[in-house]
Amino acid sequence: MEKINYFEQSLRFDTKDYKKSSFTTTAPEFYININYSCTPRFSDWVVLQDSDEPQLLRRTEWPTTMKIIRISLEEFLSKEKAHKIVGDAIKKWPVWVDARPLLIDYVLEKAREAVDSMPTSHKAVHLNLRVISELKHVFDERYGIGHGLMGKERDHKCMIPAAESNLMEIKLFYHSKVYCI
């Protein structure tokens, strides 16, 4: 019997609500406004003793976090500055650290597309981008119960994470996925 106990993160870039616009302005310099939002969804799954497929225990959607990011032409042309500005804006989002570069690259790629397609007379770009961060925890009840029954021989205790478990305290194998919807 294979033990299943892991966390998984999926990033879903909502391309249906993607909006971009460019326009002329009286401002003296070129700028990009990025209205970037993240909706986190958390779910707990369990693999029961009589099944190999995880079953949903609970799903929670947290409030959407929205950031308005303003980047000047000089900052946008410097890849390092642009990455830092976007990275600082999203650093408290509920996304694993190794997935943050995906979010930064996505927003800068969409900004580049908007700048490349706008008329030369326009001096401003406005983008609305949305990402959904799905964090999934799967726990194998078969392993937990079996391990607990052998606990007398090995002097181990088996615990199943409670709803109030702090995900930062549980260090297990995880992997990430990225989707465009």
Instruction: Give me the residue label for tokens 């959904």.
Output: 132
Instruction: Give me the residue label for tokens 């042309």.
Output: 77
Q: Can you read off the two tokens belonging to residue 96?
A: 């694993």
User: So where are the chain's domains?
Assistant: 5-180
- Measured CA to CA in angstroms, residue 33 lies from 21, 30, 65, 118, 151 at distances of 10, 10, 16, 14, 58
Looking at residue 15, its pLDDT comes to 67
Look up the pTM and report it. Answer: 0.66
pLDDT in tens, 9-20: 888 887 665 566
Looking at residue 2, its pLDDT comes to 59
pLDDT surpassing 60 at residue 176: no
Average pLDDT of the residues of the chain: 75
Q: What is the DSSP letter of 114?
A: H
CA atoms within 13 A on the CB side of 74: 1
